[in-house]
């Protein structure tokens, strides 16, 4: 009988669902007719406008038909408990909303062109091939829950919509103030997400309790009870949130956005960066050493070369964030701030530091300076010695460019390499690879239409870059090499299916392991100059494409895959033939990345964080961090 | 005979306004109980509390001897409820509504529902919001009766209906229910309509049940009494049970409850003469009890001579 109410709710909300279907059909039509620009606009509108408003409408219409026809008397006179009515109504709305979201995901899954353009535009955050964990989903679910939680308090849906927007916006504002993070950049960090979840749960719990005990006809009284109960639950949420955040600081490596970008293997030593500090893994002692406990640190802004580590971290002053550029030895000693943008006497006062890069010998450092609080203004590239002297500026005459990322600065060769995104009006942004000639300041475009600019990998000898890019004419996706001295490029693999998976140089810089599409599956391959490509087994789950690495011998590869729904770690030889196989502990079912060592493999867990070490000799796992 | 419904000390307020104040009521199984009360007396509030639609502030409701708490839903399968206004989803068609409703009642008799629908001439493809008031009442009756309830609560169902529809209701619909032995709690302010069917009558006034008796007993114990008395200042002091009273010189016209030997004795003490008594119909009795200046009457009094 609860199903009857469930389907009744679906039936009552069908117009919004039908509108969603119409929009999705329009999206398919636009995509098939090749109108990329319009597709992108419609997708953006769908994600940022339609989904949250659909969620608000679903939520606020919680008891609309009951108010409209006085049917609440009928509904409550049926032999169903009130808490069941609340739950059925809520889950009916949740399922409606998630169905729309799932349909959008399916569309993306089956329309690769759409997926690629959305990923390039930065609209999507993909996980396990699905739009899983993203701000618009968070906002929408929060909006749905809050709107539904208060929907029994008033018979006017638009009042509820605005009330939900106000409450939600106020709630997010408090989160922002409380968390002191830049809402538009990261929107909700883990702590924020937890608080948003707890806050939504507080509203829902208050609503459920008041609803089951209330007299539906006494709106004023209900509002008072609901306000009191929700406030109580929100107050209870605060210490829970603090507990989570505090615990997270100690144990969780938080978000390792691009772990491979921020780590280097030197012999048997791996250094990694954490959001809440920098940690070094010493392969000999098999232990982690904390090098720097700085918070507000992002591994996007981290460089490690020639025995030095440079990083950008934020300093809070007067409720504002000021980026500082720091440098230290890779053992954590001699840490010093080179640039402090909060100081009025600094030439970089109130400016943004957007990327930093050490030269391959660690003696020089380059960084990108943005306009800071001023909206107008271009970017500048600066360089100096790693002791902070001999500062020199290069104007980057690149109008319409944004998202600059310094890529590599070989110690000889005279060029510094970086990527930037070109955004022209009404066009999709395009990433390009550029070089700056240090002596003359001349800029040169080396490659267009990069796929995943942050996934570009430099050879350990700093002489070759490997990167993914597309050619618009034949719509092919390529894996190419760039010689950093001659600046010549060579395509080593092409495919019609786009891929973003990681690329790994072997520790000696002689071979490249990479993922590419093999029909609907993923295939691991090795490219050796002069020998061509060796292709190995196909893997189902593209997420596990991140999870492989060379061992220190430069011959064997460690790769994770799902087998009969259980994760296993394979050791592959140079022909990609399996030589060893290890079952992963249950805790590592959801893993983030792995690093190969000297007869060891280091595995980072995705959820809750933590590192596990596998000894290939004994086959034993040990949780080491 | 056991009580199917027993209510004790039920109270409910909306803001500062007390709607029910220590309300008591009991209905025997298989009887028709008419609860009379003017508009706004609290009948609808009472019925909603019995149905668990709104919570009481205080008091107990027992259904077949089992205490109900707010949130209980099992008893609702045994009770049919027809509200004063339409309370069904307006967007549903008659057919969809009946199918929706049937899912909640295991004892639902689809054939019975269909037979009632045909008998009452209700088209099944009409949307509820397009039905007339009479048709909505018919739908309410089908909805309630096809689930074969043990107790049927009717909340002023004929209010606002035209005469032919009302007649149809009492003749075609209610007649059938009375024959089936279903207990009925009929709340109304249109007393003349229920005069022929009521077995026990209660009058709700100012949040309390001012009287609750068998209908026949009530007609016997409430009497219009006319008399002349030379000591008018003593009448109000010596004569008890006056519901309404009018005086012209020394001549009194009163409605007294209960009219019994004791009242006669009190009149003798007052040396009243030219005594005339006249029985009242139910409507007059109801009006006497709800007259604002009338004193409240004790419940459960003995009938007169």
pLDDT of residue A519: 65
Q: B-chain residues within 8 Å CB-CB of A210?
A: none
Shortest distance between the Cα of A83 and any Cα of chain B, in A, equals 9
Query: Given a cut of 50, is residue A565 above it in pLDDT?
Result: yes
pLDDT category at B294 given cuts 50, 70, 90 is very low
* % of chain A beyond a pLDDT of 90: 17
Yes or no, beta carbons of A69 and B90 under 8 Å apart: yes
Nearest by CB to A216, from B54, B70, B91: name it. B54
Whether residue B85 lies within 8 A of chain A, CB to CB, comes out as yes
User: How many Cβ pairs within 8 Å bridge chains A and B?
Assistant: 77
Shortest distance between the Cα of B89 and any Cα of chain A, in A, equals 6
Shortest distance between the Cα of A77 and any Cα of chain B, in A, equals 6
CA gap B198, A139 in Å, rounded = 59
Calculated CA dihedral for residues B54, B60, B65, B70, nearest 10 degrees: 30
Identify which has the larger pLDDT, A122 or B117.
B117
Yes or no, beta carbons of A213 and B100 under 8 Å apart: no
Closest residue by Cα to residue B159 from B290, B44, B298, B273: B44
pLDDT category at B100 given cuts 50, 70, 90 is very high
pLDDT category at A538 given cuts 50, 70, 90 is low
**What is the per-residue pLDDT across A365-423, written as a single tens digit (0 to 9) for each?**
999 988 765 445 578 899 999 888 888 999 888 888 888 888 888 877 689 999 988 87
pLDDT of residue A592: 65
Yes or no, beta carbons of A77 and B52 under 8 Å apart: yes
pLDDT of residue A198: 83
CATH 3.30.70-classified regions of chain B: 220-290
pTM: 0.63
**DSSP per residue, B47-112:** HHHHTTSS--SEEEEEETTEEE-TT--GGGGGEEEE-SS--S-TTSBHHHHHHHHHTT-TT--HHH
Parallel, antiparallel or unpaired: strands B32-36 and B200-205: parallel
Mean pLDDT value across chain B: 85
Query: Given a cut of 90, is residue B94 above it in pLDDT?
Result: yes
Identify which has the larger pLDDT, A318 or A212.
A212
Identify the architecture of domain B220-290 in CATH: 2-Layer Sandwich (3.30)
pLDDT of residue A11: 92
Query: Given a cut of 50, is residue B200 above it in pLDDT?
Result: yes
Closest residue by Cα to residue A323 from A358, A352, A293, A357: A352
* % of chain B beyond a pLDDT of 70: 95
Chain B contact probe: residue of A4, A71, A74 with most B CBs at under 10 A? A74
Identify the architecture of domain B3-198 in CATH: 3-Layer(aba) Sandwich (3.40)
Yes or no, beta carbons of A65 and B71 under 8 Å apart: no
- Determine which of B159-168, B178-187, B212-221 has the lowest per-residue pLDDT on average: B159-168
pLDDT category at A259 given cuts 50, 70, 90 is very low
Whether residue B63 lies within 8 A of chain A, CB to CB, comes out as no
Nearest by CB to A79, from B48, B76, B128: name it. B76
* % of chain A beyond a pLDDT of 70: 78
pLDDT category at A293 given cuts 50, 70, 90 is low
A615: left (phi over 0), alpha (psi -120 to 50) or beta: beta
Instruction: Please give the backbone phi and psi of residue A530, each rounded to the nearest 5 degrees, phi first.
Output: 90, -25
pLDDT category at A260 given cuts 50, 70, 90 is very low
pLDDT of residue A311: 82
**What is the per-residue pLDDT across A318-359, written as a single tens digit (0 to 9) for each?**
667 788 888 888 777 888 889 998 888 888 888 888 888 888
Shortest distance between the Cα of B123 and any Cα of chain A, in A, equals 20
User: How much is the average pLDDT of A584-603?
Assistant: 76
* Tokens, residue A379: 């970017």
Instruction: Determine the residue of chain A that is closest to B90 in CA distance.
Output: A69
Q: Which residues of A touch B (CB under 8 A)?
A: 1, 3-4, 8, 12, 65, 68-74, 76-83, 212-218
- Determine which of A39-53, A302-316, A455-469 has the lowest per-residue pLDDT on average: A302-316
pLDDT of residue A249: 43
Chain B contact probe: residue of A215, A217, A224 with most B CBs at under 10 A? A215
Closest residue by Cα to residue A451 from A486, A513, A502: A502
Yes or no, beta carbons of B88 and A69 under 8 Å apart: yes
CATH 3.40.50.300-classified regions of chain B: 3-198
Mean pLDDT value across chain A: 79
Is A114 in a helix, a strand, or coil?
Answer: helix
Yes or no, beta carbons of A12 and B91 under 8 Å apart: yes
Whether residue B190 lies within 8 A of chain A, CB to CB, comes out as no
Please classify residue A488 by burial: count the beta carbons closer than 10 Å to its beta carbon, then call 0-12 exposed, 13-18 middle and 19+ buried. exposed
Q: B-chain residues within 8 Å CB-CB of A70?
A: 85-87
């Amino acid at each position: 009988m609860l199903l009857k109410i469930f389907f009744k709710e679906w039936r009552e909300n069908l117009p919004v669902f039908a509108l969603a279907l119409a929009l999705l059909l329009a999206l398919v039509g636009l995509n098939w007719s090749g109108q990329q620009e319009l597709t992108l606009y419609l997708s953006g509108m769908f994600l940022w406008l339609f989904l949250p408003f659909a969620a608000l409408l679903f939520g606020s219409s919680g008891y609309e038909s009951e108010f409209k026809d006085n049917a609440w008397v009928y509904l409550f006179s049926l032999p169903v408990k009130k808490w069941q009515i609340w739950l059925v109504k809520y889950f009916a709305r949740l399922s409606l909303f998630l169905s729309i979201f799932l349909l959008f995901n399916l569309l993306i899954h089956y329309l690769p062109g759409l997926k690629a353009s959305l990923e390039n535009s930065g609209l999507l955050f993909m996980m396990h091939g699905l739009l899983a964990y993203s701000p618009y989903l968070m906002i929408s679910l929060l909006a749905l829950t809050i709107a539904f939680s208060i929907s029994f308090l008033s018979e006017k849906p638009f009042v509820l919509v605005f009330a939900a927007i106000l409450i939600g916006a106020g709630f997010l504002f408090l989160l922002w103030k409380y968390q002191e993070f830049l809402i538009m950049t990261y929107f909700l960090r883990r702590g924020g997400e937890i608080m948003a979840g707890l806050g939504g749960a507080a509203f829902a719990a208050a609503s459920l309790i008041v609803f089951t005990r209330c007299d539906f006809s006494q709106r004023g009284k209900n509002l008072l009870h609901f306000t009191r109960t929700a406030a109580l639950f929100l107050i209870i949420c605060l210490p829970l949130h603090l507990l989570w955040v505090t615990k997270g600081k100690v144990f969780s490596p938080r978000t390792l956005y691009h772990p491979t970008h921020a780590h280097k293997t030197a012999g048997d030593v791996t250094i990694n960066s954490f959001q809440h500090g920098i940690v070094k893994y010493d392969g000999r002692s098999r232990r982690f050493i904390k090098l720097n406990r700085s918070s507000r640190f992002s591994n996007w802004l981290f460089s490690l070369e020639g025995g030095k580590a440079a990083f950008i971290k934020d300093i809070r002053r007067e409720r504002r964030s000021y980026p500082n550029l720091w440098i230290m030895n890779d053992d954590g000693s001699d840490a010093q701030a080179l640039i402090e943008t909060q100081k009025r006497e600094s030439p970089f006062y109130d400016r943004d530091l957007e990327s930093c890069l050490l030269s391959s010998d660690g003696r020089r450092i380059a960084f990108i300076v943005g306009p800071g609080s001023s909206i107008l203004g271009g970017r500048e590239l600066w360089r100096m010695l790693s002791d902070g002297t001999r500062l020199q500026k290069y104007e980057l005459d690149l109008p319409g460019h944004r998202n600059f990322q310094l890529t590599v600065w070989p110690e000889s060769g005279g060029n510094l390499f970086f990527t930037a995104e070109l955004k022209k009006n009404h066009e999709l942004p395009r990433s390009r690879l550029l070089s700056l000639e240090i002596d003359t300041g001349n800029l040169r475009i080396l490659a267009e239409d990069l796929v995943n600019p942050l996934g570009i990998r430099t050879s350990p000898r700093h002489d070759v870059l490997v990167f993914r890019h597309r050619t618009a004419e034949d719509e092919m996706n390529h894996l190419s090499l760039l010689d950093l001295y001659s600046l010549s490029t060579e395509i080593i693999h092409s495919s019609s299916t786009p891929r973003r998976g990681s690329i790994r140089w072997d520790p000696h810089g002689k071979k490249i392991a990479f993922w590419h599409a093999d029909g609907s599956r993923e295939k691991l391959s090795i490219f050796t100059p002069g020998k061509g490509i060796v292709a190995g087994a196909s893997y189902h789950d593209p997420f596990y494409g991140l999870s492989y690495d060379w061992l220190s011998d430069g011959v064997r590869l460690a790769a994770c895959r799902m087998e009969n729904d259980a994760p296993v770690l394979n050791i592959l030889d140079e022909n990609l033939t399996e030589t060893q196989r290890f079952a992963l502990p249950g805790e590592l079912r959801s893993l983030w990345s792995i690093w190969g060592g000297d007869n060891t493999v280091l595995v980072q867990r995705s959820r809750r964080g933590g590192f596990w070490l596998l000894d290939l000799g004994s086959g034993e796992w040990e949780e080491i961090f | 005979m056991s009580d199917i419904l027993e209510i004790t000390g039920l109270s409910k307020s909306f803001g500062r306004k007390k709607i029910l104040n220590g309300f008591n009521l009991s209905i025997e199984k298989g009887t028709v109980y008419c609860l009379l009360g003017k508009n706004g007396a609290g009948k609808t509030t009472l019925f909603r509390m019995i149905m668990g639609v709104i919570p009481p502030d205080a008091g107990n409701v027992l259904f077949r001897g089992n205490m109900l708490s707010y949130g209980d839903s099992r008893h609702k399968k045994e009770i049919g409820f027809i509200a004063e206004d339409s309370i069904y989803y307006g967007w549903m068609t008659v057919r969809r509504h009946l199918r929706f409703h049937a899912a909640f009642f295991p004892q639902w008799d689809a054939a019975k529902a269909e037979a009632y629908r045909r008998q009452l001439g209700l088209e099944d493809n009409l949307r509820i919001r397009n039905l007339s008031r009479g048709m909505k009442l018919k739908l309410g009756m089908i909805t309630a009766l096809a689930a074969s309830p043990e107790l049927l609560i009717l909340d002023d169902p004929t209010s606002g209906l035209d005469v032919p529809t009302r007649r149809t209701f009492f003749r075609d619909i209610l007649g059938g229910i009375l024959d089936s032995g279903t207990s009925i709690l009929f709340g109304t302010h249109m007393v003349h309509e229920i005069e022929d069917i009521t077995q026990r009558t209660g009058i709700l006034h100012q949040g309390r049940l001012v009287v609750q008796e068998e209908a026949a007993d009530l007609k016997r114990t409430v009497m219009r009494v006319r008399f002349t008395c030379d000591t008018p200042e003593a009448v109000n002091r010596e004569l008890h049970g006056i519901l309404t009273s009018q005086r012209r010189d020394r001549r009194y016209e009163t409605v007294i409850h209960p009219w019994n030997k004791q009242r006669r004795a009190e009149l003798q003490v007052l040396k009243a003469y030219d005594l005339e008594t006249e029985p009242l119909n139910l409507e007059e009795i109801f009006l006497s009890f709800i007259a604002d200046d009338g004193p409240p009457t004790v419940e459960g009094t003995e009938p007169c001579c």
